[in-house]
Amino acid sequence: MNYDVVIIGSGFGGLCSAIKLREAGIDNIVILEKDEAFGGTWRVNHYPGAACDVPSHLYSFSFAQNAGWSRLFPRQDELLAYTERIVRDYELAPLIRLGTTLKSAYFDEADGCWHIETNKGSMTARAIVSAFGALSRPSIPHIKGIEEFRGESFHSAVWKHDVDLRGKRVAVIGNGASAVQFIPEIVPKVASLDHYQRTAHWVLPRPDRPVRGVEKWLLEHAKPLQNLYRAKHYSFYESRALIFVFAPWFARLVQWEAKRFLKKQVADPALRAKLTPGYVLGCKRVLLASNYYPALTQPHVSVQTDGISEIRAHSIVTSRGEERPVDVLIFATGFDVAHGMAQADIRGRNGRELGRALAEDGAYKGCTVAGFPNFFMITGPNTGLGHNSMIYMIESGARYAVDAVRHLLRKGVHSIEVHDRAQRAYNDALQRRLRSTVWNTGCKSWYLDAQGRNFVLWPGFTFHYRRITKRFDSNNYNIQGR
């Protein structure tokens, strides 16, 4: 089958791209989804307590706002329902090919098309829009003896709801954004819980509450008020870029507030010491949770800061030689970001592999890659955020990609490829800006690669990213005629 555009992934990035392509009059498109249901992040992540740490009215498309959110911060079920509503309202279901996994794709110089292999057959496309999402491949560390464990084990991103945790001895490895949400949910059920923490995180209270009926009515019946409400949330969260990017010293003031919050919720000085990070707030992801610390103070919960030397059939052995019994092992160890952006064998000019190209050179505006003509990414390298809504970045990137595809599909255009010099200059400037941010103050985080380069986060205001993606800058591209 021959398409103008093949979109990879049916999360927010893929759905937004399809909507904007249609609005631009580009209808010969298809969305490939490897799973048997669409929905992206908020269908895949369904662990207990799963929720977003960005306000509901901001974590939604600007062109499809929802006045009916039940809480200030959306939970997984509501976000999935919102995604389903988008598919229904914009009639996207006929475009989605479920259970269709991209196996490989290569660019053919002769015809200026991508030749694509999936588990359900072959197809060609003038362009590929990759909306994999970086946080889609669970990461499980290799620990000695892990294959010997005889109890139940799973990653939080593939939660096994059929595993009954009642009365079980549970070990949770990792203490990131998912752990702080599901631990309070499972603590009342388990017989004991060992929480293995490599590095403490800064935690701030989560200002969540139900949305009152009068608020819903006003937001539904007064569109200007809905826009104003969204703008209020956007402005508040956007201001946090000052802490992370422009004035890292200001993070120490917020850090003082985080310490007060910890002291208020954890009375035991020894436990409080374990939960106090030794780095500047913001260097790692700041977590929002009002019930995490109280869960850790329960008598049957133990925070383990010793490393794990070995996993045995029914126990974990710490670096101090202590053997602790375990019935269920839950990994809350995040995602493989380095490989998440290139999950298939995608090859551009001269057979260069996409994953290697991204690891070595990054991308241009998080969207295009030198050596990969007619290939566009949504939320590619250096488009992640530590302070605001990723939906804003998705809309910005999709607009840029769609504008580029419109140029490509004009009569006589063979291929569009970013100039290598433009990509290098862009990334050199990004890395210079990143050196002075809070993310580069010395901690070890998933933001940094093995060489210490940050290919994950956007070092600036989101409105700046929107400005540089406002239109396709063809002068920085090699546009080859047929």
The pTM (predicted TM-score) of the whole model is 0.94
First to last CA, the chain: 21
Provide the token pair at 76: 């997984």
Model pLDDT, residue 135 = 64
Do the Cβ atoms of 323 and 331 come closer than 8 Å?
no
| 479: its two tokens | 């546009």
Identify the residue whose tokens are 């800058």: 473
Domains of the chain, residue spans = 2-137+336-481, 146-201+239-331
Instruction: For residues 299-309, give the mean pLDDT.
Output: 96
* pLDDT reported for residue 298: 98
Q: Does residue 348 contact residue 354 with C-beta atoms inside 8 Å?
A: yes
- Cα 101 from Cα 120, distance rounded (Å): 8
With a cut of 70, say whether residue 136 has pLDDT above it.
no
Q: Residues with Cβ < 8 Å from 273, sequence gap 6 or more?
A: none
Contacts of 235 (CB under 8 A, 6+ apart): none
Q: Render pLDDT for 17-52 as a digit per residue (tens, 0 to 9).
A: 999 999 999 999 999 999 998 988 888 889 999 999
Q: Which of 84-93, 241-250, 367-376, 387-396 has the lowest mean pLDDT?
A: 241-250
pLDDT at 477 over 90: yes
For the chain, how big is the Rg over CA atoms in Å?
23
pLDDT in tens, 256-287: 999 999 999 999 999 999 999 999 999 999 99
Tens digit of each residue's pLDDT (9 = 90 or more) over 111-132: 999 999 999 999 999 999 999 8
Q: What is the DSSP track for 93-106?
A: GGGEETT--EEEEE
Q: Does residue 232 have a pLDDT over 80?
A: yes
Q: Is 146-201+239-331 the same fold as 2-137+336-481?
A: yes
Q: Are 454 and 382 in contact (CB under 8 A)?
A: yes
Q: Domain 2-137+336-481 adopts which CATH fold?
A: FAD/NAD(P)-binding domain (3.50.50)
Please state the φ and ψ torsions of residue 273, each to the nearest 5 degrees: -65, -40
Strand boundaries in 12-64, DSSP class E: 29-32
What pLDDT, in 10s, does the model give residues 57-99? 999 999 999 999 999 999 999 999 999 999 999 999 999 999 9
Residue showing tokens 């359900």: 120
Contacts with 315 (C-beta within 8 Å, 6 or more apart), sequence order: 323, 324, 325, 326
Is CATH 3.30.70.20 the right assignment for the domain spanning 146-201+239-331? no
Q: What is the pLDDT of residue 199?
A: 92
Instruction: List pLDDT tens digits, range 429-446.
Output: 999 999 999 998 888 888
Among 164, 163, 162, 182, residue whose Cα is nearest residue 172: 182
Look at residue 341 in the predicted model and tell me its pLDDT: 56
Q: Which two tokens stand for residue 391?
A: 């939906």
